Structures are given as C-alpha cells and as structure tokens.
Amino acid sequence: MAVQQPRTYSSQEYCPVARTLDVVGERWTILVLRELSWGRKRFSELLEALSGISTNLLSERLKRLEENGMVERVFYSDHPPRAQYRLTEKGRAFVPVLVAMREYGETWEPRQRDD
C-alpha cells in the first residue's frame, strides 16, 4: 500500500494544527477515535456504532490511524486470525480534544433528538 502524502501545503508544514489535521482530518476518523475511546474494540463493534460508514472506509481509517501511531491492532485469535483495536499513548492523548469537541458541540451546535 502506498503511503499517503500529507495534505498540508508546504507553507503550513510548521503549523501543528495542519499537521494534526493530516492525521485526523479525514471524514470519519475522529468518530473512529471517539468510539475507540468509549471502549469499542472490534471491527464489527465499530462498524455497528458508526452507522453509515462502509467496511472499506473503516478499514482504511483504522490502517491510517495505525500507521500514524494512534491505534494499534492486537490479535486475540490465530485461527481464524481476529484482531481488536485500541488507542496507543498517542491516541489516548487525543481524548481531551474529543472531550473539548463534544463540549463545544453541546454548547454551540445543540441538537435535540426526535425520539
């Protein structure tokens, strides 16, 4: 698999926000991190929790997060091979950002459920 090139412009290479967006800025990525931070570990759990994401896209996001050191894949069965995912130290360090985004959303983008 080819390594994906960063999306930042060369003029932004020293900006930590731009570099962070290179890792977490694609659609669904932050939501995958949210689910992992809430304790979901298996691919099937993530797929169910992230209604609307395709299996290919979830797989791609998990691989990219793994390549960037935010997620690690741990095998729990050899035959057949089965893995679960968990946040690394780098991934856990992002949890306060998720909390801040939730607080921001609750304050500035409130939405009531229709149920």
Whether 1 has a pLDDT exceeding 50, the answer reads no
- pLDDT averaged over every residue in the chain: 91
Query: Residue 102: inside a domain, yes or no?
Result: yes
Mean pLDDT throughout 108-114? Answer: 84
Q: For residue range 55-83, list pLDDT tens digits in order.
A: 999 999 999 999 999 999 999 888 888 89
The sign of the dihedral angle between the CA atoms of 75, 21, 103, 53 is negative
**Long-range contact pairs involving 88-97 (C-beta distance under 8 Å, separation at least 24):** 91/33, 91/36, 91/37, 91/65, 92/37, 94/24, 94/33, 94/70, 95/37
Query: Residue 14: inside a domain, yes or no?
Result: no
How many angstroms separate the Cα of 72 from the Cα of each of 9, 10, 77?
A: 28, 29, 16
Query: Residue 35: inside a domain, yes or no?
Result: no
Query: Residue 71: inside a domain, yes or no?
Result: yes
Query: Residue 47: inside a domain, yes or no?
Result: yes
Query: Residue 85: inside a domain, yes or no?
Result: yes
Domain hosting 48: range is 40-106
Query: Residue 33: inside a domain, yes or no?
Result: no
**Distance, CA of 44 to CA of 111 (rounded, Å):** 28
Whether 4 has a pLDDT exceeding 60, the answer reads no
Query: Residue 17: inside a domain, yes or no?
Result: no
Q: For residue range 13-31, list pLDDT tens digits in order.
A: 899 999 999 999 999 999 9
Full-model pTM: 0.87
Domain count, the chain: 1
- Phi then psi for residue 14, to 5 deg, are -95, 0
- Domain CATH number, residue 78: 1.10.10.10
Mean pLDDT throughout 40-50? Answer: 97
